[in-house]
């Protein structure tokens, strides 16, 4: 499946903007909160949550800025893949501490980030593979 139509590119941009806003908010929230408050909110160490906040903010910027400035656009799927990794951890921790139902939100966010990672991946064409399918 290729994402070359205008409709699919618009859909990818919409998902990227929504995810970027979500991760900027979540990461900014973690960065703005004092360590003592973060320690009460989650079973994870507060310093680790600050690190996750930095990763979320940089991931959000990586979803948007390369495409806007058309520079190093290969960073967008990497940022999305990094956010998928964070969401896998979020689902795991949420299931372990709160149950399956609350873990549905980070699961859906992770699926959307995977959609962006897949949709923005660079397409590599191999000359040998193309030569095999050409009709003489």
What's the Cα-to-Cα distance from 91 to each of 79, 96, 114, rounded to whole Å? 18, 9, 14
Q: Residue 98: its pLDDT value, please?
A: 95
Which residue matches tokens 């690190």?
51
CA distance 11 to 5: 10
pTM: 0.86
Give residue limits of the domains in the chain.
Answer: 6-122
E-only strand ranges, 6-134: none
Q: Mind listing the pLDDT tens digit for each residue in 27-42?
A: 999 999 999 999 998 8
Nearest to 92 by CA among 78, 83, 102, 82: 102
């Amino acid at each position: 499946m290729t994402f070359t139509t205008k409709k699919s590119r618009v859909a990818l941009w919409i998902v990227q903007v929504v995810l970027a806003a979500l991760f900027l908010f979540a990461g900014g929230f973690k960065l703005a909160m004092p360590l003592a408050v973060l320690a009460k909110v989650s079973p994870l160490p507060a310093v680790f949550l600050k690190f996750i906040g930095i990763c979320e903010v940089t991931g959000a910027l990586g979803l948007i800025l390369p495409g806007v400035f058309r520079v190093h656009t290969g960073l967008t799927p990497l940022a999305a893949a990094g956010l998928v990794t964070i969401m896998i951890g979020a689902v795991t921790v949420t299931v372990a501490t709160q149950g399956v139902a609350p873990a549905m939100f980070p699961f859906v966010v992770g699926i959307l980030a995977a959609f962006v990672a897949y949709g923005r991946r660079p397409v590599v064409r191999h000359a040998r593979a193309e030569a095999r399918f050409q009709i003489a």
